[in-house]
Copies of this chain bind each other. A is one copy, B any other.
Amino acid sequence: MDDAVLVRATAAAAAMVRSTLAERAAWLRAVADALDARTADLVAVADRETHLGEGRLTGEVARTTGQLRLFADVVLEGSYLEATIDQAAPTAAPPRPDLRRMLRPIGPVAVFSASNFPFAFSVAGGDTASALAVGCPVVVKAHPGHPELSRLTAEIVTGALATAGAPTGAFALVEGYEDGIALVGHPAVMAVAFTGSVAGGRALHDLAAARPAPIPFYGELGSVNPVVVTGGADAARGASLAAGLAASFTLGTGQFCTKPGVVFVPEGSAFERALAAVDLPAAGAMLTDSIARGFASGVDRLLAVPGVELVSGSADGPLVVAAPLDALEAHAEELLAEVFGPVTVLVRYGSDERLLASLDKLEGSLTATLHAEESDATAELVERLETVAGRLLFAGWPTGVAVTWSQHHGGPWPSTTSQFTSVGATAVRRFLRPIAYQDAPDAALPPALRDGNPLGIPRRVDGVLGQV
């Protein structure tokens, strides 16, 4: 990697620490406007490289620019700074100094973009937006699945940032395996954000942890996104739930980190009968050859498990398979592993007790979905699912991930490596570190902490949260 990239990022970091909330919000909005204006060009290149289709890709550009604008709002609102002031208490025992704390940018961030969301989790995606939002320079490692799109997006981002007055070095793109490794090891890089496979993420996590000065690695890796359908829900609406699942697990040719990969259904369910009769969409082209190969071998492994039956579709995908709960005893690893692509596994349970026990075999997931009737006793099920996932759904399907203040896109290992999200307002917390100022003259303080609250942001003063 050209070391100049990180020399420029380091210089930009020093300038960005001093940037105002309004300046950074304007940078993000300028990037969003520039991407919106080039939607047609971007979608054409993306469709050629990813085969995801114009409709989906056009929607994803809008989602991506909406995300940039949400982070602009988050920055302007200002409570992400966690500004906290404890005034001096000279007569307390022991006497307390004036102490003021806020969050500040951590420094240059390396972003590894994903293959399956060439806009929303790629060059100008959520990791980039949330890092820039709080004043961290970003160096993106392009995904090799869409190199041309990565370059075009980077060109638009770079141009928009320059026009909006962001420092040179606030954003850069690198390509290739070696440059990715070099980024994670570079002493100027202060955090890594990654969306991708468990194997790739684990390797980079281990590199980040092994540095002479370790840095945080925020990975979004693998997830099976379990679904539980109760007997009550099956009786009330098994067929419509089946239609919902069929639409969800085939979306984007099943290439979503939130694809429902395993569904616990009662034995002899209307849900399964409806799935056996459902019309699945034709197999779409997958993102890359290696993803297609991974899907084929994953399906082979599933079909080789004793007791697994094909419910619908074919081995080329999309397909639904089913297995009795007994099969989980000996083959949990195969049945509960993520297979990236359009396949989902029904696990048929006989009793609620055995269902509950089997949930302990699940690894961490981004999401868990519970389809139940209000009359069902679900407290224990909810408690189990809370230990497994970061987002619990009680209606609908997990493939939609709203970009909002309250979103959480994270969960226990291996779905993510951290207690943070890569989607939604709080994604910015990954790229911040606290600083406390003790007995500082007002002029030496950042504006967020000065007397009189010149930024008008929410602050906590002497323990009380307010706008003072």
- The complex places the Cα of A107 from the Cα of B79 at a distance, in Å, of 28
Q: Give the chain B neighbours of A97 by CB distance below 8 A.
A: 393, 395-396, 400, 402
- The complex places the Cα of A410 from the Cα of B433 at a distance, in Å, of 9
Check A402 against B99 for contact (C-beta < 8 Å): yes
> Hey, what's the 0/1 contact readout for A429-468 against B, CB within 8 Å counting as 1?
0001111111111001000000000000010101101000
Check A444 against B402 for contact (C-beta < 8 Å): no
A394 at the interface (CB under 8 A from B): yes
A310 at the interface (CB under 8 A from B): no
- The complex places the Cα of A273 from the Cα of B407 at a distance, in Å, of 60
A100 at the interface (CB under 8 A from B): yes
Check B444 against A17 for contact (C-beta < 8 Å): no
Output the nearest chain B residue to A413 by Cβ-Cβ distance: B213
- A/B interface sample: 16 pairs, CB < 8 A: A17-B386, A84-B425, A86-B406, A97-B395, A100-B406, A205-B209, A209-B214, A213-B413, A386-B435, A390-B433, A391-B437, A393-B439, A395-B438, A405-B462, A419-B434, A421-B434
A47 at the interface (CB under 8 A from B): no
- The complex places the Cα of A86 from the Cα of B426 at a distance, in Å, of 13
- Within the complex, what minimum Cβ distance (angstroms) separates A133 from chain B? 15
Q: Give the chain B neighbours of A390 by CB distance below 8 A.
A: 433-436
Cβ-defined partner of A216 (8 Å) among B59, B383, B419, B434: B419
- Within the complex, what minimum Cβ distance (angstroms) separates A85 from chain B? 6
Among A106, A206, A214, A374, the most chain B Cβ lie within 10 Å of the Cβ of A214
Check B440 against A408 for contact (C-beta < 8 Å): no
Interface residues of A in 332-367 (CB under 8 A from B): 364
Q: A394-B444, A437-B394 are in contact. Are A432 and B419 (CB under 8 A)?
A: yes
- The complex places the Cα of A45 from the Cα of B327 at a distance, in Å, of 58
- Copies of this protein in the assembly total 2
A55 at the interface (CB under 8 A from B): no
Q: Give the chain B neighbours of A444 by CB distance below 8 A.
A: 378-379, 382, 394
Q: Give the chain B neighbours of A378 by CB distance below 8 A.
A: 444
Check A405 against B437 for contact (C-beta < 8 Å): no
Check B436 against A406 for contact (C-beta < 8 Å): yes
Q: Give the chain B neighbours of A104 by CB distance below 8 A.
A: 386
Check B395 against A439 for contact (C-beta < 8 Å): yes
A73 at the interface (CB under 8 A from B): yes
Check A214 against B210 for contact (C-beta < 8 Å): no
Q: A86-B405, A410-B434, A437-B392 are in contact. Are A214 and B14 (CB under 8 A)?
A: no
- The complex places the Cα of A85 from the Cα of B405 at a distance, in Å, of 8
- The complex places the Cα of A205 from the Cα of B425 at a distance, in Å, of 29
- Within the complex, what minimum Cβ distance (angstroms) separates A170 from chain B? 18
In the A-B complex, the 5 residue pairs with the closest CB atoms:
A209-B209, A408-B436, A395-B439, A101-B406, A213-B413
Check B435 against A391 for contact (C-beta < 8 Å): yes
Q: Give the chain B neighbours of A419 by CB distance below 8 A.
A: 106, 216, 432-434
- Within the complex, what minimum Cβ distance (angstroms) separates A324 from chain B? 27
Q: Give the chain B neighbours of A382 by CB distance below 8 A.
A: 444
Q: A205-B209, A386-B435, A402-B86 are in contact. Are A394 and B17 (CB under 8 A)?
A: no
Check A458 against B465 for contact (C-beta < 8 Å): yes
> Hey, what's the 0/1 contact readout for A226-257 against B, CB within 8 Å counting as 1?
00000000000000000000000000000000
- Within the complex, what minimum Cβ distance (angstroms) separates A84 from chain B? 4
- The complex places the Cα of A410 from the Cα of B106 at a distance, in Å, of 13
Check A374 against B434 for contact (C-beta < 8 Å): no
Q: Give the chain B neighbours of A99 by CB distance below 8 A.
A: 402, 404, 406-407
Q: A441-B374, A465-B79 are in contact. Are A434 and B418 (CB under 8 A)?
A: no
Check B14 against A463 for contact (C-beta < 8 Å): no
Check A408 against B434 for contact (C-beta < 8 Å): yes
Known: A17-B386, A391-B438, A419-B434. 12 other contacts (CB 8 A): A97-B396, A206-B210, A214-B413, A390-B434, A390-B436, A391-B436, A391-B437, A394-B437, A396-B439, A410-B433, A426-B434, A458-B465
- The complex places the Cα of A99 from the Cα of B400 at a distance, in Å, of 12
- The complex places the Cα of A6 from the Cα of B358 at a distance, in Å, of 21
Among A379, A387, A436, the most chain B Cβ lie within 10 Å of the Cβ of A436
